[in-house]
């Protein structure tokens, strides 16, 4: 299968699938080249522009999703989820919620080296979590319970936490 479904979850604990919403999902192409082709993204555009600028960061989100699945320990839950706030007056969405070492780990993919991370902080507060991850171009750092991981270190996340 070349598409992986990423379902929304309430993320109230492990296993994440207990809060899975069957009818709410996003699609993740399991090959970045197939995704580029489906989105009609010219190869030269990828070479000329920043990965995070293409389709408002969607290409970067797909890359991160593919990497997270690829580097998951064989014995872990190999499913990605996402979270969205369900209140009508205030919307929020978190790119990925992942199970690493039996812990709920929220992950936000950000363009550039800065960003407010409102959804990540809101999720961490609501779920009383002591660690969240931002994946971006920023260097490796830990600030206010948020571990910033550069794209090239995605494979090291399970070791870093």
Q: What is the pLDDT of residues 131-142, one digit of tens each?
A: 999 999 899 999
Asked if 120 contacts 94 with a C-beta cutoff of 8 angstroms, the reply is yes
Is the pLDDT at 59 greater than 80, yes or no? no
Q: What are phi and psi of 84, to 5 degrees?
A: -140, 145
Is the pLDDT at 54 greater than 70, yes or no? no
Q: What does the pLDDT read at residue 113?
A: 60
> Which of 17-26, 86-95, 96-105 comes out lowest in average pLDDT?
86-95
CATH number (domain holding residue 7): 3.40.1350
89 is in which domain, residue-wise?
3-160
Is the pLDDT at 53 greater than 70, yes or no? no
Q: What does the pLDDT read at residue 37?
A: 72
68-91 pLDDT, tens digit per residue, is 988 877 556 678 999 988 777 777
Question: 29: number of CA atoms within 13 Å, CB side?
Answer: 15
Q: pTM for the whole thing? A: 0.85
Q: What share of the chain is helix, strand, coil (3-state, %, to 5)?
A: 35, 30, 35
Number of domains in the chain: 1
């Amino acid at each position: 299968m070349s598409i992986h479904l990423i379902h929304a979850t309430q993320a109230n604990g492990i296993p994440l699938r207990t809060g899975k919403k069957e009818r709410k999902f996003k699609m993740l192409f399991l090959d970045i080249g197939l995704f580029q082709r489906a989105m009609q993204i010219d190869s030269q555009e990828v070479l000329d522009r920043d990965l995070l600028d293409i389709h408002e960061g969607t290409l970067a989100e797909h890359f991160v999703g593919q990497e997270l699945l690829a580097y998951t320990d064989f014995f872990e839950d190999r499913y990605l989820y996402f979270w969205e706030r369900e209140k009508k007056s205030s919307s929020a969405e978190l790119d990925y919620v992942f199970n690493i070492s039996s812990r709920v780990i929220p992950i936000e993919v950000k363009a550039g080296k800065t960003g407010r991370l409102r959804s990540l902080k809101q999720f961490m507060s609501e779920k009383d979590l002591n660690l969240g991850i931002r994946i971006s171009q920023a260097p490796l750092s830990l600030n206010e319970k948020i571990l910033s991981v550069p794209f090239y270190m995605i494979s090291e996340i399970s070791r870093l936490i």
